[in-house]
Each structure stands twice: as structure tokens, then as C-alpha cells.
Amino acid sequence: MSNDPRTSDLERNVEESMRMFERSKVGQAVTIQPVHPSRVLWVVDGSDQDQTSLAAAKHLRDKFNVEILVLDARDASSSTDDHAPRWAKEVSGARPIQGSEGEAYEKIISALANHDVDLLIVPCPFGRSFEHVGTDSAGTVIDVLLARSTKPILVIRRGDQLLGECSKRVAVVLGSECDMANRAAAWAFGLAEDDATLTLNLVIEKEHFENIRSIIEALHPEQELEPKQFSEALAKAHQAIHREMAKTAAERQLSYHLLPQAGEKAPPNSLAAAEKMLLIMPLEVDDRFGQGFVQDRIRRSPHPVLVVPGHMPS
Amino acid sequence: MLLLASAIEATPVEPAAAWVMLLFAAVMMATYVGVAVERFHKTVAALCGAAVLIVMSLSLGLFEYTKIYDFLKEDLNIFGVIIGTGILVDVVGRSGLFHFLSMWIVRFTGGQASKLFLTLCLVTFLFVSVLTIVPAMLILSSLVLVICRSLDYKPMPLLLSVAICANSGAIATFASGLPNIMIGTAAGIPYMQFLQVSLPYAVISLFVAIAGLRFFFRHDLPWHQSETQQAALREQIETFDPWALVEDRKVLIRSALILTLTVIGFALAQQLGVGMDFVAMVGATAALLFAGKGVEDAIGKVNWTVILFFMGLFLIIGCVKQTGALAWVAEQVVAVSGNRLELLLPLLGGFSAVASSIVDNIPVAATLIPIVQDISGDSVPAEPLWWVLIICCNLGGNGTPIGSISCVIAIYALKREANVHVGWGTFLKLGGSIMVVQVIGAIAYVMLATNMGWIPDLP
């Protein structure tokens, strides 16, 4: 029977529909408590992206009444005067803070250590033109922050991708099992606009997918593995967070989609894409693979990316 | 013989030699056997039959090649309805509207077996009448399997109940089944007349089915459950959240609105002076415009298999009709029945039901349409014949495990997902008995409705 194309269609359709119903079994899941920022460290770098960061800071101020600390983290070689006081005047509730000596990333890390903030806004690539660097580099500052920051980092990217507009479409992107996934989802619900669409994107990179497939097929030569089977496995592996997000979205009347994307195109969109989106990515800081995954997404993203890091490396 | 329908006189077909009629009828029957036994794909069987008959017709000089365009031209509107409703149903289905509704309704049962059984039967009827059998069955059979796993019920009673009640839903409206669309289009029956004539019997046949199913499965479900059991079931079923099935609420609302407007459009088509095909295509376009995320996907979901199957069938029927064989059959029917409605209705109803339980009901309807056109005339009103054909063609599907797509889906899903095999014997006892009662009831209903003057005249 299974060789009959009509039966295969039937089988696929029934299974697809069953999976949909099974995913609706979310009742025993707990709802996610949304996280909002209350005190934000906004880092300026003297580039055009400061304007975009300003829009993000204003949005957070308007929406959550956050207190904003402004830090000019430019290297001593490129800064003659402190821009922080000027930018602080642009947002109510903002005040400049004095940076420490050293490299930009040292100033930021030091400020994070000295001030009790719960979100960091930082432009990327730091101190460079976004248009010129493109997808080639996320820069040293981002690399170091990904490795050392204990606080969530809102990475600002292309100038037209303003946080307020991007918060209408929020994608929580997971590349592997991650302890911080729930925390990232909490931030996603916290930052999402009232009419937002949230997605849980479960991603396996195409190359990674091909590698896994060739290994499994080497172990079981008779078995042909389709991307759909991987997507199904991904959905099963992340069922707990999916249930929690589905339940929370239902309670908050937000649209929510589970998108397992094994070997498929996944967020972010291409650098030139017009679509606006906020990416939220959990990160276990001592997970090198996870770090690379997040760093690569930031590098290729035109959208702002909120990285929600876990514990510090030993 | 003098009472033979005017339709025969109106059809300028010169009867061919008896051997030609027999030969063509044999090819048609061979095609139908091919469709029934599924040795080939049914579409391939129909197209092969059409190709053979066209070649034979041209060789014997029965008609010019261009005549085949006339065969198809008459049924272009059916293709419009199939394409339009296919797109609409796909887009609306993907919005999660019916998944949401079914789960939302089922939660009200608290998981109690008796309430769940009744609710599933009613929801099936409702969904099939709006969505047609296949999409409704895919949603409901998967729902039953998931719910049964969760509540630890045997899936067979509920799944077979859904399959059998689906055939009652299929007679509810013009658009709820392909035989309805074919017969309704050929006879020019307005949508509203379906609500007046076939919907009431659809409801009656549903209750017949529910009573039969409840009796047949009296030992297979825990019909009486204690307070404690009910509380545990309620807790289980409430773990399902229907909203988790909805990806985008705006798309859901737009889909529901477009579907509702399309159904209203079907009902008002005659008054608006447009065909059902136009309404279906407008509904499909609106769905693609306002509710569709994947236009290419939705268009790709149009059931080309069914369209090609129909094309093959219409060509086969057209060729056989040109030999005068169908008119001859009509003459024999008239001769046997003496043109008395009280004989014609049981004959037509019984034959169409039994034939539909063995072969797909689409070729049965396609073959009987020209015969009914030939039988009906001044002395035999066409309306009761059309209604009995519509009702019995659909309910005949309950007779055997292969009689209708709803039973095929249910039995396949049971085997595949629950490892439960439903044998022919079991099914014949259940579905066959229900079908016999429903078909006898249908014939009696149409007779009564005719005598009472409840059946409106065709426009």
C-alpha cells in the first residue's frame, strides 16, 4: 500500500494533521513570564548606527519606562570628546556614565560590572560602517561580548531595522539544545508588540544537516533520511519549550508558529532584505558551537539580534 | 414506450448497431472495474477508457473529432467548482480554522465517551457539509486518533462513526460532495433546493447512522463513566489548547469570513445570475488574496487527479451516449417500471446505492445522469429522480469498506496509526446494515416528499 502515491499522500496528510493536534496538547505546560528591561546600558560608537540605537533606546523608554545609562565606548585613539552626554539628552530618563580606560570591549565589560543593568544595547560592527563591512565580520567587540557578557545584548544592525517595528515579528532562533532557551522566550514575549507574531525557529544549518545525514546513512545504508524527518525530530526534541510558548502566546492572544527548519533557509533574512524582524537567540557562553552559531547569525543579519547569554565560562 | 421521455427525442442520436452498443458498454464497464479494483490508478483507468472509446468512435464514424469538445464543454462549470473549492478549502484548512473548531468543540465533551461519540458525529456532518469529505476526514480522523491515545479509548468505534456520518454530511449541500456538484450542475438544481430537500434527509440519515453505530459499538466504548473517571478525563482533555493550533489569528478570521461569504454566494448564485463555478472561483481568489500565505502551494493543491478523472469519465459517457446505449437502457428502465415513479425510485435508488458501494460514486453518478435525463419527461418528473440519485449515490458509500473515501481513510488510518484491521465482514455488518436502512428511508422520503408536494420544481 505504501508504494501507492495516493496512500503516501493520505499517510502524509493524516500524520501532518495528527502532529498538529499533538502539538496542541500544551495544557500541562507552564506559561512563560515575560521579561522586560528596567535598566539599560546603551553603548555608542560614533558610527551612523548610533541613530538606530537611539531609536531602540527611545522605544524601550516609551514602552517600559527604562532607566538608560549611556556609555561612549570608543577607543581613546578615535575619541577626542565624550559623546555620551549629547546622546543622553536625546532620551528622557537617560544619563551618561564615564567609561574606564582601555579597548572598547573592556570599557563595556567594565561598565557592565559596575552598573546593575539588565540589557546592553550595542551597535555591530562596533565603530565601523555596517554597509562597508556587510556580512564579513561582526567585529571584535561582539566576539568578546558574546564570550564574556552576562547580560542580554541587543545587537543593533541595519539603520532601517528599528526595534519598535521589528518587535512585531519576533523569532526565537535555536540551533541546538540550550539551557537559556526559556529565558530567551521570556525576553521574546517581553519585547513583542501586542499584535506581534512569534516564531520558534529550530534550525539545523544545511551543511550541518548534510553531515548528520551522511553519518546516519553510513550507519544505516538502507535508510533514506529526508529533511522533514529531521524537522520532526527537532520538533519533538523541543516540545517542552514549544508547549510553553504556545500556551503563553494563546493566553496573551499573540500569533505563534513552530518552525522546524532542518537544512532549510532560516532567519535572518539576507542582508538586503526589507522584511523587519527581531531575532532572539539564547547562548550558553561556554558552548563554543553555540557561540559560533550566534556569531554567524549576527554577522549575516540585517535585523537587530537580542542575545540572551547563560553562565560565565569558568 | 410512447411515454418515453422527451429528452430522448430531443437528443438527436441515431442508435448504433447492437454490437456497437455492447462493445462500447463493455469498454465502459471494464473501465469501471478498473476503477473499482484499483489495479490501475482510477484516473489512468478513466483516461485509458476514454482514449479507447474515442479511437473506436472515430473508426466507426460515430461522430467527428470536434464532438468531444462538446462532451467536455457541457461540464466546464464542474471543473470551475472543483478548482475553486479546492483552492478555498486548502487555504482555509491551512489557517487551522477547522482544526481549531474541532478541538474547541471536542473539549466541551469533557472527554466522556458518550458525549464525545455524539459530538464527533455531529461535527463530522457539519465539516463535511462545508469542507467536502476528504479534507474533513483528514482533520477528524487525526483528531480521533490523537484524542483516543490521550484518553485511552479504542479508536475503531469513533473513527468508523466519523467515516459513516461523513456520508450523511456529503448530501447536505450542493458543494459537500462531487456527485452533488455533478448531478446538481447537470440538472440545474439551485443551492437553496439542496437545503430544502437533501439537507433534511441528510439529518435523518445522520440520526439513523448514530443509532446504528451506538447499537453496534454498545460494548466497545465505556458509555457509562463514574464521576471520578469523568474528572480524570476532563483533566486530560483540557490539556489540549485549541488556540495552539492557530498560527495567525488574522488569517483565521479572514479565512472564516471568506468561507462564509462563499457559502452565502453559493446560496444566492441563482438570484445573482451567476454559476456556482463563478462563486467558487471568486472565493478561491479572495482566499489567495487575503488569507493565503503560499499562493503556489494552494494552486498546486488543486485536485488535478479528480479533474482528469472527470475528463476521462465525461468522454467515456459522451462516447457511450453517442451509440444510443444509454438511451436504450433508459427505455428498458421505463419499460420495466411502466414509467411509474413508485417503481422507478426504488430501482434507481437501489441500483445507485449498490453500484456506489462497489465502484466509486462519481462514475455511477456520471453514468446515471444521462439515463435519468432520458427517463424523465412529461409523465415522469425529473426532480424526484435527481434527489434519489443524489442521496443514494452518497449513502451507498456506507455499504462496503471501499464504498466511499471516508471509509477508505478511516480504515487506512486505523491500520496505519492504531494497528487495527477492519475486515470486510465487520464493515458489511455495520455499514451495510446502516446503508440499507438509510437507502430505504431515502426512497420513502423522496416518495413522500413528491406526494406531499415538498419538492420544488427545477427552474
Task: Give the CA distances from residue B381 to residues A92, B321, B327, B447, in Å, rounded to whole numbers and listed in that order.
Answer: 84, 22, 17, 12
Measured between alpha carbons, how far is A296 from A60 in angstroms, rounded to an integer? 26
Rounded Cα distance between B413 and B97, Å, is 22
- What whole-number distance in Å separates Cα of residue B124 and Cα of residue B136? 7
Interchain CB distance below 8 Å, B143 and A21: yes
Residue A302: the pLDDT is 94
- Strand A197-204 to A39-44 pairing: unpaired
Q: Output DSSP code: residue A30.
A: P
A62 pLDDT above the threshold of 60: yes
Check CB contact under 8 Å for B138 and A28.
Answer: no
Phi, psi (degrees; rounded to nearest 5) at A311 = -65, 160
| CA gap B243, A24 in Å, rounded | 8
3-state DSSP helix/strand/coil percent for chain A, to nearest 5? 40, 20, 40
Chain A residues touching residue B412 (CB < 8 angstroms): 1, 7, 10-11, 14
Reading chain B (459 residues) residue by residue, the pLDDT tens digits are 333 333 333 445 677 788 998 999 999 988 888 877 766 777 888 899 999 999 999 999 888 899 889 888 877 888 888 888 888 888 888 888 888 999 989 989 999 999 999 999 999 999 999 888 888 888 899 899 989 988 899 999 999 999 999 999 999 998 888 899 889 988 989 989 999 999 999 999 999 999 999 999 999 999 999 999 999 998 888 888 888 777 777 888 888 999 999 989 988 887 888 888 899 999 999 998 887 667 887 787 777 888 888 889 889 988 998 898 888 888 888 888 888 888 999 999 999 999 999 887 888 998 899 899 888 877 789 999 999 999 999 999 999 988 888 998 898 888 888 888 888 899 999 999 999 999 999 999 999 999 999 999 887
Nearest chain B residue to A252 by CA: give it: B243
pLDDT the model gives residue A80: 67
> Who contacts B387 (Cβ-Cβ below 8 Å, separation ≥6)?
B197, B198, B446, B449, B455
C-alpha to C-alpha distance for B410 and B427, rounded to whole angstroms: 12
What is the distance in angstroms between the Cα of A17 and the nearest Cα belonging to chain B? 6
Q: Do A21 and B241 touch (CB under 8 A)?
A: no
Return the pLDDT at B210.
Answer: 97
In this predicted structure, what is the pLDDT of residue A2? Answer: 34
Q: Report the side by side order of strands in the sheet with A305-309.
A: A94-97, A67-72, A39-44, A119-123, A153-156, A305-309, A278-283, A169-174, A197-204, A255-262
All residues of chain A having their beta carbon less than 8 Å from the beta carbon of residue B417 are 14, 18
- Express each pLDDT in A101-127 by its tens digit: 888 899 999 999 999 899 999 999 998
- In chain B, residues with a C-beta closer than 8 Å to the C-beta of A22 are 146
| One-letter amino acid for residue B213 of the chain | L
Residues of B in contact with A26 (CB under 8 A): 239-241, 244
Hey, CA dihedral for A230, A231, A236, A237, is it positive or negative?
positive
CA A219, CA A215: separation in Å to the nearest integer? 6
Query: HEC string of chain B?
Result: CCCCCHHHHHCCCCCCCHHHHHHHHHHHHHHHHHHHHCCCCHHHHHHHHHHHHHHHHHHHCCCCCCHHHHHHHCCHHHHHHHHHHHHHHHHHHHCCHHHHHHHHHHHCCCCCHHHHHHHHHHHHHHHHHHHCHHHHHHHHHHHHHHHHHHHCCCHHHHHHHHHHHHHHHCCCCHHHCHHHHHHHHHHCCCHHHHHHHHHHHHHHHHHHHHHHHHHHCCCCCCCCCCHHHHHHHHHHHCCECHHHHCCCHHHHHHHHHHHHHHHHHHHHHHHHCCCHHHHHHHHHHHHHHHHCCCHHHHHHCCCHHHHHHHHHHHHHHHHHHHHCHHHHHHHHHHHHHCCCHHHHHHHHHHHHHHHHHHCCHHHHHHHHHHHHHHHCCCCCCHHHHHHHHHHHHHHHHHCCCCCCHHHHHHHHHHHHHHCCCCCHHHHHHHHHHHHHHHHHHHHHHHHHHHHHCCCCCCC
Mean pLDDT of all residues in A237-253:
85
Sort out which chain B residues have CB atoms less than 8 A from A246's CB and list them.
241, 243-244
Looking at residue B215, what is its pLDDT? 95
A14 with B146: Cβ contact below 8 A: no
SS3 A218: helix
pLDDT at residue number B377? 78
pLDDT digits (tens, 9 = 90+) for A257-284: 888 888 888 889 888 888 999 999 999 8
- Which pLDDT score is estimated for B301? 73
Apex CA B26: angle with CA B22 and CA B29, to 5°?
135
| Subunit contact B245:A22, Cβ cutoff 8 A | no
And the C-alpha cell for A88? 543622553
Cβ neighbourhood burial of B351 (10 Å; 0-12, 13-18, 19+): middle
The CA-based dihedral angle spanning residues B129, B135, B141, B146, taken in that order and rounded to the nearest 10 degrees: -120
Q: Record the cell numbers describing residue B239, joined without a space.
A: 490539556
| Three-state secondary-structure class, residue A156 | strand
Chain A hits for B305, CB-CB cut-off 8 Å, are: 6
Which residues sit opposite A204 in a β-bridge?
A262
pLDDT of residue A192: 95
Length of chain A: 314
> Longest Cα pair distance anywhere in chain A, in angstroms?
77
Q: What is the pLDDT of residues B246-292, one digit of tens each?
A: 777 788 888 899 999 998 998 888 788 888 889 999 999 999 888 76
Please tell me the distance in Å from B49's CA to the nearest CA on chain A. 21
**Interchain contact, B141 vs A255, CB within 8 Å:** no
Q: How many H-runs (helices) and E-runs (strands) does chain A carry?
A: 12, 10
Query: What pLDDT score was predicted for residue B404?
Result: 87
Q: What confidence score (pLDDT) does residue B7 get? A: 36
CB atoms within 10 A of CB A259: 19
**Three cell numbers, residue A93:** 530618563
Amino acid letter, residue A297:
R
The DSSP letter of residue A128 is S
Question: Do A136 and A169 touch, CB atoms closer than 8 A?
Answer: no
B77, B140, B314, B367 from B317: Cα distances, Å: 17, 35, 5, 6
Angle (deg, nearest 10), helices B113-131 and B133-151: 160
Its ipTM equals 0.76
Cα angle B225, B231, B232 (rounded to 5 degrees) comes to 90
Grid cell locating B287:
482566499
Please, what are the domains in chain A? 33-156 (3.40.50.620), 161-304 (3.40.50)
Q: What would the DSSP string read from start to end of A226-253? A: -HHHHHHHHHHHTHHHHHHHHHHHHHTT
What secondary structure letter does DSSP report for A122?
E
**Are A154 and A304 within 8 A, CB to CB?**
yes
What Å distances lie between residue B188 and B280, B293, B327, CA to CA? 16, 35, 20
Beta-carbon contacts below 8 Å between A and B? 88
**Does B146 sit within 8 Å of A18, measured CB to CB?**
yes
CB nearest to B146's CB, from A1, A22, A250: A22
Q: Cβ separation of B99 and A17 shorter than 8 Å?
A: yes
As a whole number, mean pLDDT of residues A209-215 equals: 84
Confidence at residue A8, expressed as pLDDT on a 0 to 100 scale: 59
User: What residues have CB less than 8 Å from A279, skipping those under 6 apart?
Assistant: A171, A173, A267, A268, A297, A301, A303, A304, A305, A306
CB contact under 8 A, B409 and A256: no
Instruction: State residue B124's pLDDT score.
Output: 95
At residue A253, the pLDDT reads: 84
The 3-state DSSP class for residue A13 equals: helix
- The highest-confidence range among A39-53, A226-240, B288-302, B404-418, by mean pLDDT, is A39-53
Q: In what helix (H) or strand (E) does residue A126 lie, and over which residues does it extend?
A: none
- Contact criterion met (CB below 8 Å) for B431 and B411: no
Q: Do B143 and A27 touch (CB under 8 A)?
A: no
pLDDT at res. A314: 43
Cα angle for residues B355, B360, B364 (degrees, 5° grid): 50
Contacts of A240 in chain B (CB under 8 A): none
